[in-house]
Amino acid sequence: MRTGLGGTYILPIFIPMKFNKVKRNPTRGIYEEKWILDLLDKSPFVHVGISTSSGPLVIPMAFGRKGESIYLHGAISNHLLKSMEPDKHICIACTQYDGLVLAKSVFHHSMNYRSAVLFGKPRLLEGDEKMDALEIITEHLSPGRWEQARQPNDQEFKATRVIAVEIEHASGKMRTGPPSDDEADAELPIWTGNVVSETKYTAIKSDSDLQTPDSVRKLLDV
């Protein structure tokens, strides 16, 4: 169940509305909830944007997700988190860059990508809910790490601000495939094609004499 500008509804999609409707190349727009949440889960971090009294502010942040809630954390004095207002929407974005698209004309050069933009209102967490959110964020970064590492002590817990954002609106967008050149340029002797990109962990550099945990080794297989 999701509550937004259009009321409350239960659907496996995010309904295109004022916040999330894809306007440029709308055929590339994706509103399927599973596609958007799967992309979010594959992202190591997100960009979080808010509007403040001194202007817009966007920063990259680690995060975690459970259900339709996204969890963010930072220092208790973190400017972005402190500036969030519970009655105002914030924006969360993630992108997977899949490579360059090199066309015959400069105008048609592009990139292949998968992206999602999500909107919701922030809620400050305390107590057990706050600790649970810190576990969710840690497990998103490195599954199994919460139990392997020392968990926050009282001082660290008090020094950390944790926010939950319930997803109300979202949309995805994706470009795939080769260049789209004009027919008039078809015979130009210019190379075209794709330069594929992939985001992945490539190596482990140990800072310990201990054996690397299997959970860390598995990150290379993702």
Residue type present at position 92: I
Asked whether 123 and 70 are in contact (CB, 8 A), the reply is no
Q: What is the secondary structure of 90-138 as a DSSP string?
A: EEEEEEEEEEEEE-SSGGG-EEEEEEEEEEEEEEE--HHHHHHHHHHHH
pLDDT of amino acid 5: 46
> With 70 as the cut, is the pLDDT of residue 6 above it?
no
Nearest-10 Cα torsion for 138, 36, 130, 154:
20
Average pLDDT of the chain to the nearest whole number: 92
pLDDT in tens, 55-89: 999 999 999 999 999 999 999 999 999 999 998 99
For residue 187, the domain's CATH number is 2.30.110.10
Residue 93 lies in a domain: yes
pLDDT of amino acid 222: 66
User: What's the whole-number mean pLDDT along residues 89-99?
Assistant: 96
Domain that holds residue 161: 2-195
Ordered alpha helix ranges (H), the chain: 33-42, 79-83, 127-141, 145-148, 154-158, 214-217
pLDDT of amino acid 18: 80
Residue 206 lies in a domain: no
Residue 207 lies in a domain: no
Residue 218 lies in a domain: no
Residue type present at position 122: P
Question: Which of 19-33, 88-102, 138-152, 156-170 is predicted least confidently?
Answer: 19-33
Residue 212 lies in a domain: no
pLDDT of amino acid 4: 47
pLDDT of amino acid 73: 98
Question: Which of 1-10, 72-81, 109-118, 161-170 is predicted least confidently?
Answer: 1-10
> With 70 as the cut, is the pLDDT of residue 1 above it?
no
Residue 49 lies in a domain: yes
> With 70 as the cut, is the pLDDT of residue 50 above it?
yes
Residue 204 lies in a domain: no
Number of domains in the chain: 1
Residue 69 lies in a domain: yes
> With 60 as the cut, is the pLDDT of residue 130 above it?
yes
